[in-house]
Amino acid sequence: VDLDALEAAARGLLTENAWGYYSSGADDELTLAENVVAWRRVRLRPRVLRDVSVIDTSTSVLGIPVRLPVLVAPSAYQRMAHDDGERATARGAAAAGTVMCAATLATVSLEDVAAAAPDAPRWMQVYVSRDRGVTAEMVRRAAAAGYSALIFTVDLPVLGNRRADERNAFALPAGRLMANFGAAHPSVEGGSALAEHVRTDLDPALTYDDIGWLREVSGLPVLVKGVLRGDDARACVDAGAAGVVVSNHGGRQLDTAVATADVLAEVVDAVAGDVEVLVDGGVRRGTDVVKALALGARAVLVGRPVLWGLAVGGDKGVAEMFEVLRDELARAMALCGVRTVGEISRDLLAR
Amino acid sequence: VDLDALEAAARGLLTENAWGYYSSGADDELTLAENVVAWRRVRLRPRVLRDVSVIDTSTSVLGIPVRLPVLVAPSAYQRMAHDDGERATARGAAAAGTVMCAATLATVSLEDVAAAAPDAPRWMQVYVSRDRGVTAEMVRRAAAAGYSALIFTVDLPVLGNRRADERNAFALPAGRLMANFGAAHPSVEGGSALAEHVRTDLDPALTYDDIGWLREVSGLPVLVKGVLRGDDARACVDAGAAGVVVSNHGGRQLDTAVATADVLAEVVDAVAGDVEVLVDGGVRRGTDVVKALALGARAVLVGRPVLWGLAVGGDKGVAEMFEVLRDELARAMALCGVRTVGEISRDLLAR
Amino acid sequence: VDLDALEAAARGLLTENAWGYYSSGADDELTLAENVVAWRRVRLRPRVLRDVSVIDTSTSVLGIPVRLPVLVAPSAYQRMAHDDGERATARGAAAAGTVMCAATLATVSLEDVAAAAPDAPRWMQVYVSRDRGVTAEMVRRAAAAGYSALIFTVDLPVLGNRRADERNAFALPAGRLMANFGAAHPSVEGGSALAEHVRTDLDPALTYDDIGWLREVSGLPVLVKGVLRGDDARACVDAGAAGVVVSNHGGRQLDTAVATADVLAEVVDAVAGDVEVLVDGGVRRGTDVVKALALGARAVLVGRPVLWGLAVGGDKGVAEMFEVLRDELARAMALCGVRTVGEISRDLLAR
Amino acid sequence: VDLDALEAAARGLLTENAWGYYSSGADDELTLAENVVAWRRVRLRPRVLRDVSVIDTSTSVLGIPVRLPVLVAPSAYQRMAHDDGERATARGAAAAGTVMCAATLATVSLEDVAAAAPDAPRWMQVYVSRDRGVTAEMVRRAAAAGYSALIFTVDLPVLGNRRADERNAFALPAGRLMANFGAAHPSVEGGSALAEHVRTDLDPALTYDDIGWLREVSGLPVLVKGVLRGDDARACVDAGAAGVVVSNHGGRQLDTAVATADVLAEVVDAVAGDVEVLVDGGVRRGTDVVKALALGARAVLVGRPVLWGLAVGGDKGVAEMFEVLRDELARAMALCGVRTVGEISRDLLAR
């Protein structure tokens, strides 16, 4: 009935290797914990005696209509959670009426993800390779397969220190590939196979110019994910970004980085309405969604909760997770005295 | 000897279904906990060397003399706590010299509540039904039965997510009715029967105009309960409210809503003395009462403590609970150097 | 070797009745805990490269030279801790070179306390009785017995709600009397015998005029103990007090009253050097003493630590407790770069 | 793989006497804990889309090139951790490309430390003896043995109250000497042998003039270690110090002294670039190093982590500990969007 229960159920179903990969954060996991706490710390000032007989949770993101302002955050290796992997997630997102983000490091190819829910909106997350040709080809394939935007992840020039993965010598299970490249992970002795992949294949030399490059080679609008500062957000906009995603990669990259709830307002103010601002990290309740929108986000993304739903019930589990969040959001809106997401404003927050 | 002990005793006497219903809050119960903590966090600056040989805890609320500035908060289904239910509460409140608030969802009819303590002051709490005729009839019956004011609850357009009730599939025990309507709850498969009732019967389209409507159909002054903002309080006054009750419904509706102790001063300042301001939520000690009055409340309401007293000792238990609070209040006043509730001022609070 | 260890040792030696009486606070014991924490929370900014080869912890209080700025706080019923009771405390204080405060509710008469350490400085704590003749006689006896000041306790117009004493039905053990009056406590059925004594015998109608009255009948300077506000402290001075003691009665009277460390500066600033300011409550370390003096106190009083020393070793235990505190104070002063108590200033404190 | 794991491994290898000596702090160990927490509390605001393909952690300290801005803090008695003691630490520091600080209370003579890594940079920590001739001789020997600076420790005019050492009756194991003097510790009955040594041999009368004296007798630049205030830092500079080390002696001297992370900026601002500012205390992560440099430190020193590495693996353990910190620092820099230590600025920190 809520995401806590879903998490507990998922934990019982996943291998140590997969659970460790999905749940862990960097170093001492302080930002991982702070992401959740930062939303809870924000206090709501509900309004009363507004007619809330009809609550409308729908909105649009980059012009795409969605039934609720909650999207699928890109996450890798979803066939570790469920045999159908990203296919099921795409179908679940479609059923929920929201946007699927496919990951570069998916275990189902982007074309197969598209085929799983051909009419539903989808975005493609991008890690840029040292070999730019590899990335150019992938984003062109994404455009061809009907992805309508790129999510350009910029907070992973190197991999964060995820102790669980080091301890578990994290590796993809037998038969799971990086499906967008038809390739297995580099094999490593001990340590994390992903860490090795990032070290050898991903490009640590990215700059703001790569926003334009991605737009050009793909013909798609580019959202920049991993921004935690107003000035960086402004620079993204100036470089042609179609939006920014305030994110610290779910606490998995730089530990003690600011919680996203704590910097969202700064980013929103810096961007000044020129592009849409999304946010992820620690969203677990409908009230968290209200707070994110009150701070100025257009929508939020959820990552781990999608994986919990996927692990527990495949596409139906994903759809049900979104249904829970939508119910909670509608209830929170009614209790705050707002009927539409457009009525959610910063004035709902204490201090 | 104090309310903690009373709570522990009550817990041992109640069924899981009843205890879960009375004690639980919404979602993660953060506001439930914060309500109590917010009072405790306020620090007192007592005055010394005032003659406190005579302490007078009496005051008046809406012109009604009371022996202490603590009233019965409306709460539903009191026959789950004790066979005499709301009858006993009315007699206990009368013995304590304070105001009884009967609830719309009482398990004893408002006329029987009135008959239980005919000479004592009583108010009627109102949930407005989708069928306005139902509510109009109820408030006219209340006026006829000698209720002198309405408490119009405005923070329940939908029901909060009370996980205990969902888990327990909360239902009224056999033989317990919504006595004001002579009706049983709608029956539900699993889940909370109350949630179903709210969904189907209560009106989520209330506005400030309903304050005037209630006053008109009943001829009674209307206090608006569930206000957490200065601007809303002002709007209530402008719409003809006779008072406001700062309340988050005991943490049972919108989780992470502000604690009442934290917004009381804002509401008091916004109302600027035009009407009386009451407050509930987390009051457990005489010192809490002093703090509420120091922040500008005319009086406080207590809900769960009444139910604990009721469960433990029927009308005598309720009266004794008030006696404990009155002793604690008198002691706290003496130790603060104030003799009358009128001498309690904001200057007693640190910061 | 430090006061924590002493407390643990004492606990093992005392009856439940005595331990409960000495250790408990009022209500939820929040101020009791906060007193200790408030000192710890203050951060020191030590100075370096001062010649601290000679550290002098001595000072004077009301003109009386003391070896350290730590005095015996008045506490009742010391023969519950050790058969020699207040006699031993007086001898221990004398050995330590500091001032003994005898209590109105002592289990050894003030004359016998004086006789135990005839040459040492001593003050008399005063609870004023409803029968003023009783008090007038006691303070005149004190003057005759060489007490050089009165400590007028003003924060006990009624007794705080000490749950341990109610639970234990606190009573003086057989053979222990209120020795200053040669009287046993009023006997009570259940509940605290002290609570009954306060209710029936002590005067709740004290005012600032009583400062002058006490000075007049005794001929002694009067320190007012139990002040927690600047304006009250000022009023004491204007009424002729020779000093004020910032105190919340060790957290035993008004729960959630401000911690003494948190209001000391306000009182010091209000008094503006016109009289000396003392403080008690939660002092357990030499660094706490440095902080109190840095905030402007002339000296601190310790209550429970004296009783721990007394319980463990009689007069020697008391003297040793002071020796530990003096060693800690000297070390803290050296590490702060100050040689004399006069060099301790507010500049040593962070923020 | 990180310092937590190294600490746990070391703990399993050390005697109670040695572990107690290395790990303990003064009194209630509040500053010991706060040192670590204060770094963690600082939140990072990483920059994105900077080319971080090449990360350079190297810098210089007092003109000495180092591979990372992390140096060996002086610590005593290293042969308690490993038979090779300070020799191994010197070799480990040399392998890591950083500066070794030898301690006055070393268990290997300063000449033998120098001989262990003759080409590597080394500094000599100085406790000044009451017999100034002893110190003059030691610092001249240090100059002769190629030490290029003195670290003048000024926060130990007396020894902090380290309860573990008192409890363990701390003493050097048989065969371990204060090797710089070829002397055993004074023998004591119970209590700490170090406490006795400090009391009898070290000079508590140091002043700012001793900075010049040390420089004169040694011909070496003098860094003053143990400064926690801007005004003291300024005074050190005015007295001819070549640098200051913000330190509270690892929480081992004055408990409740400010955490070093909390006062670093004040000291940096007071010194205003005239000399270099170093800092130690609680640094356990690469992110902590980034924060220290962002606040204006030239470099940090680590004490306990060196001992953990030494205990676990001798010189290789020390080198590996530095390698872990350098990897973490490089990762943190990349994730913050900075390529060189010169690019680390206060703007990376929240608030």
DSSP string, C90-127: HHHHHHHT--EEE-TT-SS-HHHHHHHSTTS-EEEEEP
Residues of D in contact with C348 (CB under 8 A): none
Which residues in D lie closer than 8 A to residue C47 (C-beta atoms)?
Answer: 229, 232
Note the pLDDT of residue C166.
87
Q: Which of the four pLDDT bands, split at 50, 70 and 90, describes residue D236?
A: very high
Region of C301 on the Ramachandran plot (φ > 0 left; ψ -120 to 50 alpha; else beta): beta
CB contact under 8 A, B53 and C207: no
> CB count, 10 Å around CB of C168?
19
* Distance in angstroms between the alpha carbons of the first and the last residue of chain A: 31
Cβ of B155 within 8 Å of Cβ of A46? The answer is yes
How much of chain C exceeds pLDDT 90, in percent? 90
Q: Residues D301, D267: contact at Cβ < 8 Å? A: no
- Helices C260-271 and C30-41, packing angle to 10 deg: 70
Q: Which residue of B has its CA nearest to A327?
A: B161
- pLDDT tens profile B197-247: 899 999 999 999 999 999 999 999 999 999 999 999 999 999 999 999 999
What confidence score (pLDDT) does residue D332 get? 98
C258–B334 CB contact, under 8 Å: no
Q: Which amino acid is at C54?
A: V
Q: C-chain residues within 8 Å CB-CB of D208?
A: 49
Give the amino acid at D39. Answer: W
Mutate to test the interface with B, among C255, C263, C267 (most CBs of B within 10 A): C255
Facing D44 at nearest CB: one of A204, A207, A258: A258
Query: H-helix or E-strand containing A76?
Result: none
Look at residue D165 and give its three-state secondary structure. helix
Q: Express each pLDDT in C141-200 by its tens digit.
A: 999 999 999 999 999 999 999 999 888 888 888 888 889 998 887 767 777 888 888 999
Residue of D284, D335, D345 to mutate, interface with A, max A Cβ within 10 Å: D335
Residue B303, judged by CB atoms within 10 A of its CB (0-12, 13-18, 19+), counts as buried
- Phi, psi at C173, each rounded to 5°: -60, 160
Q: Inform me whether the pLDDT recorded for D187 exceeds 70.
A: no
**Burial bucket for residue B285 (CB in 10 Å: 0-12, 13-18, 19+):** buried
**Contact (CB<8Å) B49/C204:** no
Tokens 């390698």 — which residue? D323
3-state secondary structure of D183: strand
The mean-pLDDT minimum among B104-108, B182-186, D297-301, D332-336 falls in B182-186
Binding-site residues on chain A for chain B (CB distance < 8 A): 1-2, 40, 42-53, 285, 287, 328, 331-332, 334-336, 350
DSSP letter assigned to residue A122: E
How far apart CA C205 and CA C128 sit, in angstroms, is: 10
According to the model, what pLDDT value does residue C173 have? 87
CA–CA distance, D4 with A167 (Å, rounded to integer): 14
- As a three-state string, the secondary structure of chain B is CCHHHHHHHHHHHCCHHHHHHHHCCCCCCHHHHHHHHHHHHCCECCCCCCCCCCCECCEEECCEEECCCEEECCCCCHHHCCCCHHHHHHHHHHHHCCCEEECCCCCCCHHHHHHHCCCCCEEEEECCECCHHHHHHHHHHHHHCCCCEEEEECCCCCCCCCHHHHHHCCCCCCCCCECCCCECCCCCCCCCHHHHHHHHHECCCCCCHHHHHHHHHHCCCEEEEEECCHHHHHHHHHCCCCEEEECCHHHCCCCCECCHHHHHHHHHHHHCCCCEEEEECCCCCHHHHHHHHHCCCCEEEECHHHHHHHHHHHHHHHHHHHHHHHHHHHHHHHHHCCCEHHHCCHHHECC
pLDDT of residue A112: 98
How far D175 CA sits from the closest chain C CA (Å)?
A: 30
Please state, rounded to an integer, the average pLDDT across all residues of chain B: 96
Based on the residue annotation, tell me whether C249 is a catalytic residue of this protein. Answer: yes
The mean pLDDT value for C33-52 works out to 98
Neighbours of chain C (3+ CB pairs under 8 A): B, D
Beta strands B299-302 and B70-72: pairing type?
parallel
CB within 8 Å: C157 and B350 = no
Tell me if D287 and A255 make a contact (CB, 8 A cut-off): yes
Residue D340 DSSP SS3: strand
pLDDT exceeds cutoff 80 at D185 = no
Rounded to whole angstroms, what are the CA distances from B233 to A50, B211, B297? 13, 12, 13
Report the half-sphere exposure of A307 (CA within 13 A, side-chain side): 23
Q: What is the pTM for the complete model shown?
A: 0.96
pLDDT at D202: 95
Contact D255, D160 (CB under 8 A): yes
* C299 and C326 Cβ atoms separated by less than 8 Å: no
**Alpha carbons B36 and C332: distance in angstroms, whole number:** 39
Instruction: Name C350's Cβ contacts closer than 8 Å, sequence gap at least 6.
Output: C42, C43, C44, C45, D258, D262, D263
Q: With beta carbons under 8 A apart, name residues in chain B contacting C257.
A: 43-46, 335
Average per-residue pLDDT for chain D: 96
Do β-strands D70-72 and B100-102 pair in parallel, antiparallel, or remain unpaired? unpaired
C190: left (phi over 0), alpha (psi -120 to 50) or beta: left
Beta carbon pairs, B and C, within 8 Å: 87
Judging contacts by C-beta atoms under 8 Å, the chain A residues touching residue D287 are 27, 254-256
Q: How many of the other CB atoms lie within 10 Å of CB of C308?
A: 28
> How far, in Å, CA of B75 to CA of A306, rounded?
39
Q: Shortest CB distance from A254 goes to which of D1, D44, D350?
A: D44
- How far, in Å, CA of A139 to CA of A220, rounded? 9
Residue length of chain D: 351
Spans of chain A, pLDDT less than 70:
186-187
Answer whether C203 sits within 8 Å of B2, measured CB to CB: no
pLDDT in tens, D198-217: 999 999 999 999 999 999 99
Chain D residues close to A213, C-beta within 8 Å: none
